[in-house]
Amino acid sequence: MITVRLLCVGFCLAVGLALGASGELRADDGATARHLLLGVRAFKAERYAEALVELRLVARAPDAPADLAFYLGPTLYKLQRYDEALAVFVGSRAAPDALTAFYLGQTYYQLRLFRKARAVFAGLRARDLGPALDAAAGRYVAGVDAGYQTPPAAASIDYYLAEGLERAAADPIVAAEYLDEARQVEALAAQPHHHAEIVAGLAAAWNDAGRAQAVIALVTAERSPSPELTWQLARAHAATADAAHARPLLDAIIKAHGPHVTEATALLARLAP
């Protein structure tokens, strides 16, 4: 094993600051390590298209480092491939450091996912960012707050819902981010608007993205889960191998002869006794 220690990656954020980051990537002494080093060097030289080619090769390798998103995500951001950057950030196996989280916040902002961006920047302000980045994060938070001084219009909720549903089949990770934005914006509205559709779409996207625990928390918080939410909850419990909770939900779906009866029957048959 070799250790590739990256000091002063030299990210240049949209706020106009040249930043350094320290991190550690491990890879076998072979092709993965070479592509990783070439990708980082290309990024530092601001040759982002070249960096992306190398980092994509690393991402496909069986020994890809868990924190590759720290470098692949910002590369995609620099290339203005924001949907792809978001999928990398959100799908990362490693918890983001402060600089990576800042890029995530900016990616949300570029995609107009303002509530999601605000949450990231507000969280970053509680970390040791230094005065310049802390001030930048504060400006993002203030900007989002200024835009939500009055309840959001129905059209805003409709936009996020439509964007999420459109992406659901092809990219459930990114779809879920739009649908969660819709949920957060709808919570600020003067009156409910497509609430059931938003929550059902979000639960389905989170299930498809492998986030069963998030689905369980989401559905449990609902006062009167719809039949669609009951199906998504059953899927989530089954995914976590919780047959005790999944089985009665699936039995109820099958007895009701609802739209998911065939899928529920198949899932019930696969449950552990």
The answer to whether residues 11 and 134 belong to one domain is yes
| Domain-ending residue, one of 123, 147, 171 | 147
The answer to whether residues 17 and 140 belong to one domain is yes
Which structure tokens are listed for 92?
């990362």
Query: Domain total for the chain?
Result: 2
| Domain-ending residue, one of 110, 131, 147 | 147
For residues 67, 69, 71 and 75, what is the CA-based torsion angle, rounded to 10 degrees?
170
CA angle 201, 59, 38 (to 5 degrees): 140
The answer to whether residues 174 and 120 belong to one domain is no
Confidence grade of residue 21 (pLDDT, cut at 50, 70, 90)? very low
The total of other beta-carbon atoms located within 10 Å of residue 62's CB is 6
Q: Would you say residue 203 has pLDDT above 50? A: yes
Q: CA 161, CA 199: separation in Å to the nearest integer?
A: 10
CATH of the domain at 123: 1.25.40.10
Lowest-confidence region among 41-50, 87-96, 171-180, 247-256: 87-96
The string of pLDDT tens digits covering residues 55-111 is 999 999 998 888 899 999 999 999 999 999 999 999 998 888 898 999 999 999 999
The answer to whether residues 158 and 103 belong to one domain is no
Alpha helices in the chain, H assignment, sequence order: 31-44, 48-60, 69-78, 82-90, 98-110, 114-124, 131-147, 154-167, 172-187, 195-208, 212-220, 227-239, 243-256, 261-270
Q: Quote the domain boundaries for residue 259.
A: 154-270
The string of pLDDT tens digits covering residues 122-156 is 999 988 788 899 999 999 999 999 999 999 999 99
The answer to whether residues 101 and 184 belong to one domain is no
| Domain-ending residue, one of 94, 118, 147 | 147
Residue whose structure tokens are 């002494």: 29
